[in-house]
A and B are shown apart, each in its own frame.
Chain A
Amino acid sequence: MAKQYEIKAKWLPYFLVLPQMIIVFIFFFWPSAQAILQSFYLQDPFGGKTIFVGLSNYIALFTNPDSDYLYSFTISIVFALSITFLSMTVSLFLAVQAHKKIKFTTFYKTMLTWPYAVATLVAGVIWLFMFNPNVGVIAWILKHRFGIPWDYLLNFQHAFILLTLAASWKQLAYNFVFFMAGLQSVPETLVEAAIIDGASSIRRFWQIIFGLLAPTTFYLLVMNLVFGFFETFPIVHGITAGGPGKSTSILVYKVWRDGVVNLDLGGSSAQSVILMILVIGLTVLQFRFIERRITY
């Protein structure tokens, strides 16, 4: 049995967690408190004048028909779901293929892991250069070889597809690495037993491998949703800047735009408080399910 040490000094544990707590306080609690406070005010950016407005920053988000906040909410969810679905299915497929005993597996694996090293904003710019209707190579091919009037600057569907592709590509490598690790931990013996039982390869995949991958899949599901919801800001910033109109102005983009560029501190703070509640909710969910693990 492992020997347990008892700490005699009562203050020592507190002292040991102190540095961490200071960091959390300065970088999380303090700004959060500021955001909550500011969300109740109409404020001069220079801090000269503040007017208490109660909940009206929040009410304006949901009741002012011009604010389109609910639309922003919907589009963010749809966007996150699309990215999650696309990048997870593709990366699972690629991982299964790369897991087979084929030539150059290491090469494939390296190549497929590569995009992970690309900064999100850079990923956005790469896709922008390929698809920009004015200068993009692929945009040109779509237009002149396939007769598709590609114009994401004015066409919402085009803009949405482009953003989803770019973000999914960015997330592909991350998923690939985890699926790969998951596949490697599936015991060979189980698969061999299934072969002896005469199970087809499709059946082997769905009934054995996919089942054993469930914890990985679930973990990735949460991570991808979080990525799609909160970390796609640079891609939107780089490619569409929320356009055409406000159609791709997702929550994290809108909060930045309103606060940093448009200097609407109160409205932007109200939005970030809402986002904070969302993150807390998602985290609770993740902990409850991931801690319990999926049993099979």
Chain B
Amino acid sequence: MKKLFLLTLSLVVAAGVYAQVSVEFWHAMTGKNGEMVQSVCDKFNASQKDYKVVPVYKGSYSDTMNAGIAAFRAKQAPAIIQVYEVGTATMMAAKGAIKPVYQLMAENNAKFDPKVYIPTVTSYYSTSDGKMLSMPFNSSTAVMYYNKDAFRKAGLNPDKPPVTWPEFFDAARKLKASGMEGGFTTNWISWIQLENFSAWHNVPFGTKSNGFDGLDTELVFNSPLHVRHFENLYKLAKEGVFIYGGRENKANPLFISQRVGLHFESIGGYGSMKANCKFDFGVARLPYYPDVPGAPQNSIIGGASLWVFNGKSPAEYKAVTAFFTFISQPEIQAYWHQNTGYLPITNAAYELTKKQGYYKDNPGLEVAIGQLLNKPPTKNSMGIRFGNFNIIREIEDQVWEDILADKISVKDGLDRMVREGNAKLREFERLYK
């Protein structure tokens, strides 16, 4: 009897020692990127045997976020959830629902130095005094793509892409004159032509450091510089040089099918461009207006970060901490960066990739990193943080289409975006004040 008891006891203890802590990680990555999420988790699970991270695909970014919200309300939340950049303010404001990453790291005594991260990446997900709230995961930035073959045909230098907006518009007109259907198009009107545009020119997109310093922030992207830029875009649309391709990233086919020779898209789309473009293309920095003092500054990121839900057990938090430490290692970051096209989040991963000679074949990725690191971020270029930001971007999309369809003038249109957007910011402020 005693023997049996001892045997049982030892089994229980052994089970306790080897019980693996398993945590769920909900994400929105599909295709190659989805495989890479799985692969990174597999590497983590194989690297040790105390913890297991289980990646679960939950649909689009908004589906994933909704699934997380519903699960949290039902007290079934996963430990880790991937949330797109527009959801950042909503996640931050949801006090009690999330556990800030800096706090998680401190509680678990993890070696955590925020300085090893690329500042423009971490600032987007940190408080204004530098406390990191979520773990940067897949980060990208907006760049210019140009068709080198079309440049040659139009008598432009394929090794000297336009640097300023006046040069850019000139090149676009020449491309159209050379026989293309149009000159240029763009994805993500808000993210590229307003948010990144503002950061790149070091002008505010909103007050209070673009929302970092308080909920009483207001949008201010109807300044003379913004109006001037949009009037230029509008004018070129009327000349047939700018072709509108749709919301989000729906303009890609115009560039891939060579109907335009210049395009703005996320660097995250670099891999797909390489796979689909049957011509020689290059990646260059965003253009700027040379008369704006301080331009170019640095561009801001897009993509998503990993948030940790509140109310998990200490063992689960240990698992999350170990996972975050693991994915921050230069080797893993470099692996992720090189296989997805998303930017590395640490300087060491960038240096490692450079040393491996990866950028020789993929110069576009280095252009994007250079653009992010161009200057240390200012309060206009740390990122943007606005509540209800999804609706605000939608308003911008809608009004931009109304501008192009001549339903509203450029100036009135930008004023309307700001007015409607501010009303949404006030709703958010009222709720979370």
Contacts and interface: CB of A to CB of B under 8 A. Distances in A.
Interface of A: 42-49, 51, 64, 66, 134-135, 151, 153-156, 241-246, 257-258, 260-264
List of 3 A-B pairs having minimum Cβ-Cβ separation, nearest first: A244-B401, A46-B94, A245-B402
Contacts of A257: 394
Given A42-B431, A44-B431, A46-B97, A153 B401 contact: yes
Contacts of B257: 134-135
B404 A154 contact: yes
A264 B389 CA distance: 11
Contacts of A135: 253, 257
B246 A260 contact: no
Given A44-B93, A66-B420, A154 B432 contact: no
A156 B405 contact: yes
A261 B394 CA distance: 10
Contact of B407 (A66, A241, A245, A263): A245
Contacts, number: 88
A244 B431 contact: no
Interface of B: 62, 66, 69, 72-73, 90, 93-97, 244-247, 250-251, 253-254, 257, 259, 388, 390-391, 394, 397-399, 401-402, 404-405, 407, 416, 419-420, 423, 427, 430-432
A67 B431 CA distance: 19
Nearest to A264: B391
A261 B398 contact: no
Contacts of B253: 134-135
A49 B431 contact: yes
A154 B90 contact: no
A246 B419 contact: no
B398 A48 contact: no
B66 A155 contact: no
Nearest to B251: A134
B245 A153 contact: yes
B96 A48 contact: yes
A260 B420 CA distance: 20
20 contacts: A42-B427, A42-B431, A44-B94, A45-B69, A46-B97, A49-B431, A49-B432, A51-B430, A66-B416, A66-B419, A66-B423, A134-B246, A134-B254, A153-B245, A245-B399, A260-B66, A261-B394, A262-B388, A262-B394, A263-B66
A242 B90 CA distance: 24
Contacts of A246: 398
Kindly name the residue among B95, B394, B432 whose own CB sees the greatest number of chain A CB atoms within 10 A. B394
B244 A154 contact: yes
Given A48-B97, A64-B423, 15 more contacts: A42-B430, A44-B431, A48-B96, A66-B416, A134-B251, A135-B253, A153-B244, A153-B246, A243-B247, A243-B401, A245-B398, A245-B402, A246-B398, A261-B394, A263-B390
Contacts of B94: 44-46, 48
Nearest to B419: A66
B264 to A, nearest CB: 16
Given A260-B66, A262-B391, A262-B394, A154 B401 contact: yes
Contacts of B404: 154
A258 B62 CA distance: 12
Contacts of A49: 431-432
Nearest to A246: B398
Given A44-B94, A66-B419, A245 B401 contact: yes
A154 B93 contact: no
A155 to B, nearest CB: 7
A241 B405 contact: no
Contacts of A44: 93-94, 431-432
Nearest to A152: B246
A45 B254 contact: no
B84 to A, nearest CB: 11
B247 to A, nearest CB: 7
Kindly name the residue among A46, A241, A261 whose own CB sees the greatest number of chain B CB atoms within 10 A. A46
Given A42-B427, A243-B401, A263 B244 contact: no
